[in-house]
Amino acid sequence: MNRRHLLTALAATLPLPAFAQSPVWPTRPVRVLVPFPPGGSNDVFARPLAERLQARTGTPFVIENRAGAAGAIGAEQVARSPADGTTLMVASVSVPTASIVQRTTWDPERDFDAITTLARAPFFIMVNPQVPAKDVKELVALAKRRPGSLNYGTSGAGGINHFISESFSQAAGIEMAHVPYRGTAPAVTDLIAGNIQVMLTTVASASAAIRENRVRLLAATADGAPPTEGIPPVTTVKQQGVDWSFDIWWGLFAPRGLSTDMRAAIHAAAVGALGDPALARIYSYEGAVPAPVGLDEFPKILAADMIRFRQIAQAANIKPE
């Protein structure tokens, strides 16, 4: 049994009173801030988690959506909140990347306690069906023959799609033109229409288009995607010859400065909640799998990713606005 499954199994066996009667657990309602609008992936991951945390602890967990500036506005509010366990944040890796492309008042490593990753998912490389490429090798060859002629769409400049797309281009030694949109949905619409040729995004963002063969799926950016009904299985970019992989995570954060006991209690409750098979099914609809880590591992993951994203930004000339 690997470490992730062991953690999940152990926490799931803890009885409710171990949390509900903990002297460090907040007695007031806990606000779970989602720095994006309702209905997005961060919201989808946060709500069922909050329900299970409430059931395990006996403390009310209330979702609050505070969208704006690619998650930076909500993150700032969390960073300024008391570190007493009554404010948490569910956010994807796109929130830390916001600090690279925006002049934020907060720093992801300095101003937050990273509790645990909640889930992970690969992105997928997809193209308009008119693009003469059936796999990654053919896409790379096409891009090298016509540098800059292929347009790739993203949910916005400096977003996670932008970073991952540029990272793939750097690894493959190709150049594509970036076309930023105000969200993923309009980018997928233009991919279907052929106004852009390439997109790297999650299966959940384009599931209908994939099922209806309006876009062609070429590869996953990493292992770990759960089987999704109607979505054809594909191999990874690395398996297709480009030595590169990338997945994204969603994580649980708190304002910096939690007591050791409080941080351990929140971590244990979250890991236990992630052991619920029903929660895993909900996450699978987003193309993700539960991925809790040990108490001290998430800060290391965050630090390593920040180094990687800064390197991508420098190579691609992605600058703060």
Burial of 44 (0-12, 13-18, 19+ CB in 10 A): buried
For residue 13, pLDDT beyond 80: no
List, by residue range, all CATH 3.40.190.150 domains of the chain.
Answer: 3-120+247-316
Write the pLDDT tens digit of every residue in 30-39: 999 999 888 8
For residue 19, pLDDT beyond 70: no
Q: Are 182 and 117 in contact (CB under 8 A)?
A: no
Q: What angle do CA 251, 296, 62 make, to 5 degrees?
A: 35
Write the pLDDT tens digit of every residue in 244-296: 999 999 999 999 999 999 999 999 999 999 999 999 999 998 889 999 999 99
Query: What percent of the chain is predicted at pLDDT more than 70?
Result: 92
Write the pLDDT tens digit of every residue in 107-144: 999 999 999 999 999 999 999 999 999 999 999 999 99
Kindly state which CATH superfamily the domain 3-120+247-316 is placed in: Bordetella uptake gene, domain 1 (3.40.190.150)
The pTM is what? 0.87
Least confident among 24-38, 40-54, 286-300: 24-38
How much is the pLDDT for 125? 97
The arithmetic mean of pLDDT across residues 184-198, rounded, is: 95
Distance CA 92, CA 90 (A): 7
For residue 199, pLDDT beyond 70: yes
How much is the pLDDT for 63? 97
List, by residue range, all CATH 3.40.190.10 domains of the chain.
Answer: 124-240
Distance of CA 52 to the CA centre of its chain: 20
How much is the pLDDT for 4? 41
How much is the pLDDT for 23? 52
The arithmetic mean of pLDDT across residues 299-314, rounded, is: 95
For residue 96, pLDDT beyond 90: no
Query: What percent of the chain is predicted at pLDDT more than 90?
Result: 73
Mean pLDDT of the chain: 89
**178 confidence band (pLDDT: 50, 70, 90):** very high
Which alpha helices (H) appear in the chain, and where do they start and end?
A: 3-12, 17-20, 41-57, 72-79, 94-101, 136-145, 160-172, 184-193, 207-211, 260-273, 277-284, 297-316
The arithmetic mean of pLDDT across residues 216-231, rounded, is: 85
Distance CA 157, CA 70 (A): 10
**21 confidence band (pLDDT: 50, 70, 90):** very low
How much is the pLDDT for 135? 97
The arithmetic mean of pLDDT across residues 47-73, rounded, is: 93
The arithmetic mean of pLDDT across residues 161-168, rounded, is: 95
Distance CA 273, CA 54 (A): 10
For residue 2, pLDDT beyond 80: no
How much is the pLDDT for 225? 76
How much is the pLDDT for 8? 41
**22 confidence band (pLDDT: 50, 70, 90):** low
The arithmetic mean of pLDDT across residues 61-74, rounded, is: 92
For residue 60, pLDDT beyond 70: yes
The CATH class of 124-240 is alpha beta
**10 confidence band (pLDDT: 50, 70, 90):** very low
Burial of 227 (0-12, 13-18, 19+ CB in 10 A): exposed
